[in-house]
Amino acid sequence: MNQWTKRSLVMGTLLVGGVLGLSYCSNKAEQQIQQQEQGNLNASADLKTLMAARNLTEGDVEAALKTYTPTGKKDEYMIFASGGQSGQVLAIGVPSMRLLKVIGVFTPEPWQGYGYGDDTNAILAGGNQGTHKLTWADVHHPNLSETKGDYDGQYLFVNDKANARIAVVDLADFATKQIVANPLVASDHGGAFVTPNTDYVIETSQYPAPLGRDYAPLSDYKAKYRGLAMFWKFDRTKGRIDPAASFGVELPPYSQDLADAGKLVSDGWVFIGSWNTEMATGGTLQGKPAIESGASQNDMDYLHIIDWKKAEQVVAAGKTTTMKGVKVITLQTAADENVLTLVGEPKSPHGADVTPDGTAIVVGGKLDTHGTVYEFSKIKDQIAAKKFESKDEFGVPVLSFKDTIRGQVELGLGPLHTVFDDKGNAYTSIFLESKVAKWSLKDMKLIEKLSVHYNVGHILAAEGDTVSPDGKYVVAMNKMSIDRFTGVGPLYPQNFQLIDITGDKMKLLADMPIGIGEPHYSQMIKTDKLKPLKMYTPGFNPATGVKDPNAVEGGKERIERHGDVVDVYMTAVRSHFTPDQVEVNEGDTVNFHITSLEQAEDQTHGFTVDMYNVNISLEPGKHENVTIKADMPGVYPMYCTEFCSALHLEMQGFFLVKPKGAK
Ligand code: CUK
Ligand code: CUA
């Protein structure tokens, strides 16, 4: 039997198997033939010849061996990466650096049907701010839920810097469940960082403005403009943020930046960097310095230290004011009650990262060459003893810089973010030098620098933000890729570079071009901590988290008319929708209630009504509701958008809209 006969036999099996739902087995047969073919090809080529032909060094081959993941083999880690301006989150396997999923979060995602049905539209609508419909977000920092300071694999939180929002993604089905909009500020940045048991999701503002998004002229900057640290209470039993149990802490009008929660000995505290303590507001047309230079005058800015357990007590004691429905500890109260304390940090800092043991906080400096390490015990003791050096002009106590730090280590030009391994080492991204600096936390000594390509922003490490990082891998998230990839026009991909940190020397293993958004931060979790669902229980509505009241059972499909409202109770199963003919009158409101009757793994259907901007994803067992206004008379195919079986194309129906006045 030659290959072609074998192939056509397999295709025949595929066709029959697809109808019978046996495509998995026949795929396996196809795979075996492919492997045989590859085996025959490779037998004639030895490794050295291949290396020469592809111009590969031994180092390249070693890197390939460390990352190559043959078909069927799975990754040890998963990265959850910010999708930047796309408003989404990327799930990436490590070490293969294969993209596994793009999770729709703040932006509609058609494949998942996210934002094209009633229930996911309601989730997106939860993030409405202001009067303009928001169709994008600037995602910066994904953070995994933690239990006792360790990733527990249950939830992921992300922030939208552009519109001050936080989203909750459930890692049971990798789907967004909630978006909360901060009513007090217009931008955030220090989010979405979690406390060690995920009691709170922290969101701090970036650009100061009057709280509540009121108007005040820039001449009132010091008097009326403020920052905010929001503590969103997470209700784990519901898997949702509870806005009513959340609170804010008013901050001075400095530009608050990255934040991190304390852990172990520093549990109960939050550290937030800031820049522009000069409170520059620009005014270039009036001949004043641009904000970039106005904000770079002071040698020191302020690290903000918040005692959030104290803040909880202050809230419980009712010492808050309510602004737009949010309980807020005013700046005055925060200063008086020592909820908020400041300490100097070197020129235009970026990053505030708590070490795995919780004893120290590492801060980088965009305009400083050091990594600065603060000793938490010194901070805590001085606050307890009320040993303050001064107050800022808003009355917030300030600690002495030199009495607070463990030390500083010279790292290079533009140190930004720091992550940690399991051996007491820190890894800091050096933006201007395009390097990753490895240094020892104990000896405060630089160990090694590795070139990355190029302009590294954040870096991340395996389980890097937990109390027990794994070591093994660091990923440099590079802003520029200049000469790394084939050209795709003037908007270049970003470049994630996987680095092996197991040996004495860091070793670059692989590049992954990122052609979506501008990722900022990511976290990397061991995949054995994730317990993703394979399918939903029949009739389950993932957006509401319960079996849908309109779920449809096989045999109970029907169309009901109530005046000009038509309810279509529909099921989907290979390879048909029931009912497959829906005729309504122009002007009717049509509610589709669709349940997938599938209970076989990876058997997904889609459902669209052409021209009506509907596309939902029906994973096995899932229920979705879609409402459309039948305002376009005509005949519109409804069809399944997922190639689900050999008779997928036949999985269609008709949506007929009878024009007004027609017989
Ligand atoms: S920021 Cu982007 S590289 Cu938003 Cu975390 Cu530093
Ligand atoms: Cu169902 Cu295609």
Q: Label the pairing between strands 269-275 and 255-261.
A: antiparallel
Among all chains, which residue has been given the structure tokens 């066709």? Answer: 15
Could you tell me the two tokens for 336? 């008086």
* Residue 44 burial (CB count, 10 A): 7
Residue 479 C-alpha to ligand 1 middle, in angstroms?
10
- Return the SS3 of 594: strand
**Cα 200 from Cα 245, distance rounded (Å):** 10
Q: Give the number of the atom of ligand 1 that is nearest the alpha carbon of residue 457.
A: 3
Overall size of the chain counted in residues: 663
Name the closest-CA residue to atom 2, ligand 1.
Answer: 520
Asked if residues 618 and 596 have their Cβ atoms less than 8 Å apart, the reply is yes
- Return the SS3 of 26: helix
CATH architecture of 540-658: Sandwich (2.60)
pLDDT at 22: 41
Q: Which ligand is nearest the CA of 138, by number?
A: 1
Residue 66 buriedness (CB in 10 A; 0-12 / 13-18 / 19+): middle
Residue 334 C-alpha to ligand 2 middle, in angstroms?
58
* Three-point CA angle 577, 582, 586, nearest 5°: 150
**Cα 507 from Cα 494, distance rounded (Å):** 20
Average of pLDDT values for 618-638?
Answer: 98
Q: What is the DSSP letter of 512?
A: E
**Cα 148 from Cα 143, distance rounded (Å):** 15
pLDDT for 35-93, tens place per residue?
554 444 454 468 999 999 999 999 999 999 999 999 999 999 999 999 999 999 999 99
Run of H or E residues at 66: helix 58-67
Q: What is the DSSP letter of 327?
A: E
pLDDT for 392-443, tens place per residue?
999 999 999 999 999 999 999 999 999 999 999 999 999 999 999 999 999 9
Decide if pLDDT at 18 tops 80: no
pLDDT at 525: 98
Could you tell me the two tokens for 401? 């810089």
Ligand 2 binding pocket, CB closer than 6 Å: 575, 605, 640, 642-644, 648, 651
pTM for the model stands at 0.93
pLDDT at 29: 55
Residue 536 C-alpha to ligand 2 middle, in angstroms?
18
pLDDT at 33: 52
Q: Give the number of the atom of ligand 1 that is nearest the alpha carbon of residue 350.
A: 6
Q: How far is CA 294 from the centre of its chain?
A: 32
Q: Give the number of the atom of ligand 2 that is nearest the alpha carbon of residue 642.
A: 2
Q: Which ligand is nearest the CA of 188, by number?
A: 1
pLDDT at 347: 87
Residue 84 C-alpha to ligand 1 middle, in angstroms?
10
pLDDT at 302: 97
Decide if pLDDT at 350 tops 60: yes
- Return the SS3 of 407: strand
* Three-point CA angle 400, 402, 408, nearest 5°: 135
Could you tell me the two tokens for 202? 């922290």
Task: Give domain limits for the chain.
Answer: 77-529, 540-658
pLDDT at 405: 97
Q: What is the band of 663 on the pLDDT scale with cuts at 50, 70, 90? A: confident
Q: Give the residue, out of 205, 520, 523, with the most ligand 1 atoms within 8 A of its beta carbon, to mutate for a pocket test.
A: 520
Residue 647 C-alpha to ligand 2 middle, in angstroms?
8
Q: Which ligand is nearest the CA of 576, by number?
A: 2
Q: Give the number of the atom of ligand 2 that is nearest the alpha carbon of residue 606.
A: 1
**Cα 376 from Cα 464, distance rounded (Å):** 19
pLDDT above 70 covers what percent of the chain? Answer: 93
* Residue 218 burial (CB count, 10 A): 10
pLDDT at 572: 98
Ligand 1 binding pocket, CB closer than 6 Å: 140-141, 189, 258, 350, 416-417, 457-458, 520-521
Mapping DSSP onto H, E and C, the string for 237-289 reads CCCEEEEEEEEEEEECCCEEEEEEECCHHHCCEEEEEEECCCCCCCCHHHCCC
Beta bridge partners of 181: 165
Which CATH number, 2.130.10.10, 2.40.10.220, 2.30.30.140, 3.30.420.40, labels domain 77-529? 2.130.10.10
Q: Which of the two residues, 351 and 500, has the higher pLDDT score? A: 500
SS3 content of the chain, % helix, strand, coil (to 5): 15, 40, 40
**C-alpha distance from residue 331 to each of 231, 385, 397 (Å):** 15, 21, 11
Asked if residues 333 and 339 have their Cβ atoms less than 8 Å apart, the reply is yes
Could you tell me the two tokens for 438? 């490895």
Q: Give the number of the atom of ligand 2 that is nearest the alpha carbon of residue 643.
A: 2
Q: What is the DSSP letter of 1?
A: -
Asked if residues 467 and 356 have their Cβ atoms less than 8 Å apart, the reply is yes
